């Protein structure tokens, strides 16, 4: 036997090889297996990826706890006399971790039931002429290889910010054993907003450090401004036009040095120190998980941040290699990765050559306090793509009925972005009590091309906040 034949004999062949056992990879693998493909999933950590282990799932548990804390403030207004309520972070963490472990087991059982081989370890592309990966010394190949390795929190080095490594990221948040008395969150995106909201609402004195004047700058300006205001209303200490200059450790915790610039005066800088910080959390973005994968040997095109570039069908620049989810850097949401993975499986193994995910009008929720729901174009995006004269805006702001008798007040704001003579609804944005559960139905309507007249022709459900969307004038 020649050496070429020997190496070929040592390579295990599959129909579909998935690198990454997170939302997108598992969805694609299971659907491919259902369609008859001999499939394997390679995972280096825990099944379920970011979402199940250090993302949406444990985050929502923490947010639910924070909502309980908010409602405690309203009990007396609703006639309940409840004294001495005590919150135990330790109890919550134990239950949350047990739930996540339960989900890990379910994912494993689902793979076993689908007869998908699960391979534990780090995948690395080899230099073989046929696309091949190596895991723990074992070579694997397939005519179709899916990269679904996800992303990870971006971190600053100690060279960039002295002492930066003394902080944690959202991953580390889920390892906290106790509620920090004093927290500093750095960042203005949805992860920063959610983490700051959870910590502050559960009783940690929280500061949020942002580089500009508002949070969620990629969202509609109406939402960005309101969310910024609500953070402050919830007792979060907001440091605008600020950045962390350095971090140092003392006997009483961390000392975080902040530099604040006056946007009006170019050279006017103020230095401040936040003392006795127990939790410094960097939420400054995410980056693709590609280290050690050796994608360079495959000649895959990536953008300047390392995201794998794909076309509308999730094809990379190398035939037979595909990518879905956060590693592609577009619409970093669990259901997006799941949908893209499944659509790809139908295209590859069911012959549905036009099967692809439509990335327009993807609904998303930010679990802030109160929650934000948004789908479609912002007002700014609509004006840019359709022209100001063709865009009509409807918006409202009101106090939800729940707060009619509470001393704690939190407004609900809503906005419709419509275009053209027929006033097609191309954007819907809201923040307020219940907006998280309100959005899905409206997203269906917008995906179907609903107009303002369709909204107006729908009878309102009274008394609810959602009825405002069908009664706007």
Residues annotated as catalytic are 462
Neighbours of 286 (CB within 10 A): 20
140 near 10, Cβ under 8 Å? Answer: no
* Cα–Cα distance for residue pair 307/382, rounded to 1 Å: 27
- What's the CA gap between 401 and 406, in Å, rounded? 10
CB 434 within 8 A of CB 403: no
Record the tokens describing residue 310, joined without a space: 């794909």
| C-alpha span between 29 and 166 (Å, rounded) | 38
Whole-angstrom CA distances from 433 to 67, 373, 391, 405 are 10, 10, 28, 15
């Amino acid at each position: 036997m020649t050496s070429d034949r020997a190496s070929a004999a040592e390579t295990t062949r599959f129909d579909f090889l998935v690198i990454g056992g997170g939302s997108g990879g598992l969805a694609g693998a299971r659907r491919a297996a259902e369609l008859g493909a001999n499939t394997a999933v390679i995972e280096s950590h825990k099944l379920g990826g970011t979402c199940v282990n250090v993302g949406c799932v444990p985050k929502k548990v923490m947010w639910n706890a924070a909502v309980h804390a908010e409602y405690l403030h309203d009990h007396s207004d609703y006639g309940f006399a409840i004294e001495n309520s005590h919150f135990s972070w330790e109890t919550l963490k134990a239950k949350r971790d047990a739930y996540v472990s339960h989900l890990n087991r379910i994912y494993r059982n689902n793979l076993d039931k689908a007869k998908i081989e699960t391979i534990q370890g780090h995948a690395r592309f080899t230099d073989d002429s046929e696309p091949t990966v190596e895991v723990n010394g074992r070579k694997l190949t397939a005519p179709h290889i899916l990269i679904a390795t996800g992303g990870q929190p971006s971190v600053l080095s100690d060279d960039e910010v002295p002492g930066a490594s003394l902080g944690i990221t959202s991953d580390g948040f889920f390892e906290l054993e106790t509620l920090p008395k004093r927290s500093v969150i750095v960042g203005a995106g949805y992860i920063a907003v959610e983490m700051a909201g959870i910590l502050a609402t559960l009783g940690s004195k929280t500061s949020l450090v942002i580089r500009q004047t508002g949070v969620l700058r990629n969202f509609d300006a109406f939402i960005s401004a309101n969310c910024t205001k609500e953070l402050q209303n919830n007792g979060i200490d907001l440091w605008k036009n600020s950045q962390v200059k350095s971090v140092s450790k003392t006997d009483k915790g961390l000392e975080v040095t902040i530099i604040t610039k006056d946007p009006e005066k170019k050279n006017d800088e103020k230095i401040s120190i936040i003392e006795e910080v127990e939790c410094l959390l960097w939420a400054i973005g995410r980056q693709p998980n590609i280290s050690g994968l050796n994608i360079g040997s495959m000649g895959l095109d990536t953008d300047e941040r390392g995201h794998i570039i794909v076309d509308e069908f999730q094809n990379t620049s190398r035939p037979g290699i595909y990518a879905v989810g956060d590693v592609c850097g577009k619409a970093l949401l669990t259901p997006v990765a799941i949908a893209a993975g499944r659509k790809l499986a139908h295209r590859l193994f069911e012959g549905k050559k036009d099967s692809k995910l439509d990335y327009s009008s993807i609904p998303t929720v930010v679990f802030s306090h109160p929650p934000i729901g948004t789908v479609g174009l912002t007002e700014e995006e609509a004006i840019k793509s359709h022209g100001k004269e063709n865009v009509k805006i409807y918006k409202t702001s009101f106090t939800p009925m729940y707060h009619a008798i509470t001393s704690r007040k939190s407004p609900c704001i809503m906005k419709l972005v419509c275009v053209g003579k027929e006033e097609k609804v191309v954007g819907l944005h809201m923040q307020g009590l219940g907006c998280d559960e309100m959005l899905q139905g409206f997203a269906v309507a917008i995906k179907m091309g609903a107009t303002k007249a369709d909204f107006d022709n729908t009878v309102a459900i009274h008394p609810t906040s959602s009825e405002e969307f069908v009664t706007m004038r």
